[in-house]
Structure 1
Amino acid sequence: MLAALMLSLALSGQTPQTDQSCSDDNGVDRCARLTEDARALGMATLDVEQATGTEVYRIIQIDGYGRLMPGIAYERRTGSSPQVVVYGKEGARMSAPVSPEAWRTVQSMARFADRELAPLPDEPANPLAGICLHSWLSTPEIANGARRGVPDQPVRRRTESACGGGLTTTFAFDLASMAIKAFPDCDLLDKSEYRNDMTRLEQCLRFKGDRLAAVELMNQVGWRFVPDDAEDKALAWARRLQPTQTTRLDWGGTVTTGGGGARSPVAAFLARFQTDNPSLRGYISTLDAKSSTQIEATGRMDMSGPDDTDLTAPFTQTWVWDPNSLGWTLETWIVQPFVPVR
């Protein structure tokens, strides 16, 4: 495998190449918007990082639906030890120190991150090569890189689509998988609920306060929130919400209270509403863990209305930790009236 890899690199001329396939799923040229995307994430341009002497290995990714994902940067600023930083929109950010071993691993990984693999000799054409939907775009950017202590080129970058992706795409997803290990609380997010480690980092970046508490709650209720394909919907809702006698649900002005497992009036109301509106979906947007025992959440409920009109309703929730059940229980849930999506 290594021999084949090196042969492909040799055939490509060992020179960085820019992937011309820069279009996201919406047809937007993300190469042209790279500076704008970096600015949206609160990241300095690569030229600025190079000029200030920062050694940086970072990625900017666009998911399969044209959404800008968080930026991940392994940085060693002048006079400071290496760290990994996850940059998000609207100033969201989290950072952690990097071990010497992890830093050297990133330096090694980045060696061929901007190289294009050439086809192997006599490699048969792939008849499905032109069929690729919702492909991610990855752009590694490297400034003042080093290879075993030897200075590298001042600036390197390359954009590549995951459709037939090679070294560039591999580096991007591997860097995300490395980064989440630096945040043990984020790494506890249930992998089965997310597409990859980048989407887990995106979710964790939305958490405020006690991230471990937020992760525990998110694993309990699930990212999609509304139980899918449950034969006993009331029981499924009860398991998610763990309602007690003091739980209060205000659903567009209709107030319901009470616990009792699957017999909970709150769980029963939600089960009936979901049965009557099978398109119902729910998403938690933010979790603000005020402490290890109290979390405030925001999100929205979506469903189809008359004539297939898309309806949405924002909500707020308060959760408290129950030391008896060793789980999170819903204290209050206020859902605003559904309105058409604009």
Structure 2
Amino acid sequence: MRAIEQAFLSSKMLIAVGLAAMALVQTPPSPPECRISQTDEACARARRAAFEARQGLTSIEAEAGTGAEIYRAGFTHGFGGDMPTIAFERRPGESPRVVVYLSPDKQMKAPVPLSDWEAVRRAARFADRELAPDMGSIYPPGMTPPHKVCLHAWSTWIEMANTTTPEGRDVPVRRRGESACGGELTATFAFDLAARAVSLLPDCVLLDRKREPSDVIRLALCGNLDGDRMAAAGLMNQIGVGHADPGQRTTRERAWSAWMGTNADAVLTWPGDERRYRQTGMLRSIGAFLAEKEAEERGFRVNLMKFSGVSGTRVEVSGRIETDSVDGEGRVNGGFFAPFTQVWGWDRAWQEWRLEGWTVEPFQPRT
């Protein structure tokens, strides 16, 4: 159940997922009539079709009609957003493969060894079953068991095409959904598919598990690596993703300076400012400038979104700087954002990535 527990421990990183993969995790509201009748079958089909469209999925019924053998799992995180869908597929005339569906034009794929494929098939036998309730009790007669509280639980669902039940029946379509609160066979199978997918995707497995223990979120973040994805993953491990956190130092200037790399030699170009800020050796004008902006601007934050490996020693990062505006009562009411591009290079001497250039575009209103 470790994978299910990880889903509860990773809510902070969901902010990064929302920033780094905004187009992939936004969930449009349900039609008005479906908000009234959440259990209506027509609404369930409509929501399923909308989800499939957002992720570029073909309905499991249509997949079954092609003769493909498919095991797939989907997730909705505890705040209601879509997460990647993981599918283990064996299509007619093709070897097994794992596919991570992120959007209609974004998937990650890898071949699946026979041992993994057989393991998925074995685990799927009872994945759509509900365990019988435990009739025993560890509490003595007359004692009321304590109430269990579960907040912001993930929802999981699984779908299978052309599989065989433990009783030996061939079934075109099997599906079941389950909450991670007390998740049992279905949730366990779904999170196990995510863990197996990470292990088979060589770029995704590089992402630091200590920084992000959830396999589902690691797959979402891995979807934001392009080009030389191994180099991009290495930089993401070093500087993070989402809201940049320079860590703790004696001053914020020193923290930002250390975040840019031990031997950084970088130039920052800021919109509306003719000066070019330099970071090299003891000259820490970029670190000082960022610390100054943090102190002056309400909600100043640096959001790292896309990592593109140009080569094994060069990575470009795109993102946006954001600030908040407040109304007369001190409440956040919009703000501003500015897209930026960073260039990072690999320092062979220090064996780390260092910032080389940072260009910030003009600020725009943010609603």
TM-score, with length taken from structure 1? 0.83
- Residue 185 of structure 1 contacts residue 211 of structure 1 at CA under 8 Å; is this kept in 2? yes
**CA 1:262–1:222 in 2, change beyond 3 Å: closer, same or farther?**
farther
1:35-184 alignment, distance < 5 Å: 35-123=49-137, 127-129=146-148, 131-146=149-164, 152-184=170-202
**CA 1:71–1:126 in 2, change beyond 3 Å: closer, same or farther?**
farther
Unaligned runs of at least 5 residues, structure 1: 1-23
With 225-234 and 266-275 compared, the bigger mean Cα shift is at 225-234
1:211-250 deviation digits (Å, cap 9, x = unpaired): 1000011011112323255443222222222286752212
The equivalent position to 2:259 in structure 1, one of 219, 240, 259, is: 240
1:289-328 deviation digits (Å, cap 9, x = unpaired): 1221222221122333343334333222222223232222
Query: How far apart, CA to CA, are the structure 2 residues paired with 1:271 and 1:164?
Result: 45
Query: How far apart, CA to CA, are the structure 1 residues paired with 2:247 and 2:304?
Result: 16
- Residue 244 of structure 1 contacts residue 258 of structure 1 at CA under 8 Å; is this kept in 2? no
- In the alignment, structure 1 residue 309 sits paired with structure 2 residue 333: yes
The amino acid of 2:92's aligned partner reads: T
Query: How far apart, CA to CA, are the structure 2 residues paired with 1:38 and 1:45?
Result: 7
Query: How far apart, CA to CA, are the structure 2 residues paired with 1:245 and 1:326?
Result: 12
- In the alignment, structure 1 residue 274 sits paired with structure 2 residue 294: yes
- Aligned partner of 2:17 in structure 1 is none
With 80-89 and 273-282 compared, the bigger mean Cα shift is at 273-282
The equivalent position to 1:320 in structure 2, one of 341, 345, 362, is: 345
Aligned-pair distance for 1:341? 2.3
**CA 1:31–1:297 in 2, change beyond 3 Å: closer, same or farther?**
farther
- Aligned partner of 1:7 in structure 2 is none
How many percent of aligned residue pairs carry the same amino acid?
39
The equivalent position to 2:270 in structure 1, one of 251, 255, 263, is: 251
Query: How far apart, CA to CA, are the structure 1 residues paired with 2:362 and 2:147?
Result: 47
Query: How far apart, CA to CA, are the structure 1 residues paired with 2:124 and 2:282?
Result: 52
- Residue 226 of structure 1 contacts residue 281 of structure 1 at CA under 8 Å; is this kept in 2? no
- Aligned partner of 1:199 in structure 2 is 217
- Residue 251 of structure 1 contacts residue 336 of structure 1 at CA under 8 Å; is this kept in 2? yes
**CA 1:289–1:112 in 2, change beyond 3 Å: closer, same or farther?**
same
Aligned-pair distance for 1:87? 1.0
Query: How far apart, CA to CA, are the structure 1 residues paired with 2:167 and 2:309?
Result: 42
Query: How far apart, CA to CA, are the structure 1 residues paired with 2:201 and 2:194?
Result: 11
TM-score, with length taken from structure 2? 0.78
Query: How far apart, CA to CA, are the structure 2 residues paired with 1:217 and 1:329?
Result: 9
1:20-64 deviation digits (Å, cap 9, x = unpaired): xxxx9x887594412221222112110111010110100111111
What is the SS of the residue equivalent to 1:153?
strand
Query: How far apart, CA to CA, are the structure 1 residues paired with 2:333 and 2:145?
Result: 42
Query: How far apart, CA to CA, are the structure 2 residues paired with 1:208 and 1:286?
Result: 8
1:198-221 deviation digits (Å, cap 9, x = unpaired): 111111111111110000110111
| Count of residue correspondences | 318
The equivalent position to 1:292 in structure 2, one of 312, 316, 327, is: 312
- Residue 264 of structure 2 contacts residue 356 of structure 2 at CA under 8 Å; is this kept in 1? no
The equivalent position to 2:356 in structure 1, one of 317, 331, 334, is: 331
Unaligned runs of at least 5 residues, structure 2: 1-26
**CA 1:192–1:126 in 2, change beyond 3 Å: closer, same or farther?**
farther
The amino acid of 2:173's aligned partner reads: V
**CA 1:270–1:115 in 2, change beyond 3 Å: closer, same or farther?**
same
What is the SS of the residue equivalent to 1:119?
coil
With 165-174 and 117-126 compared, the bigger mean Cα shift is at 117-126
Higher relative contact order (CA 8 A, sep 6+): 2
The amino acid of 1:335's aligned partner reads: V
**CA 1:261–1:154 in 2, change beyond 3 Å: closer, same or farther?**
farther
**CA 1:245–1:46 in 2, change beyond 3 Å: closer, same or farther?**
closer
What is the SS of the residue equivalent to 2:236?
helix
**CA 1:93–1:149 in 2, change beyond 3 Å: closer, same or farther?**
farther
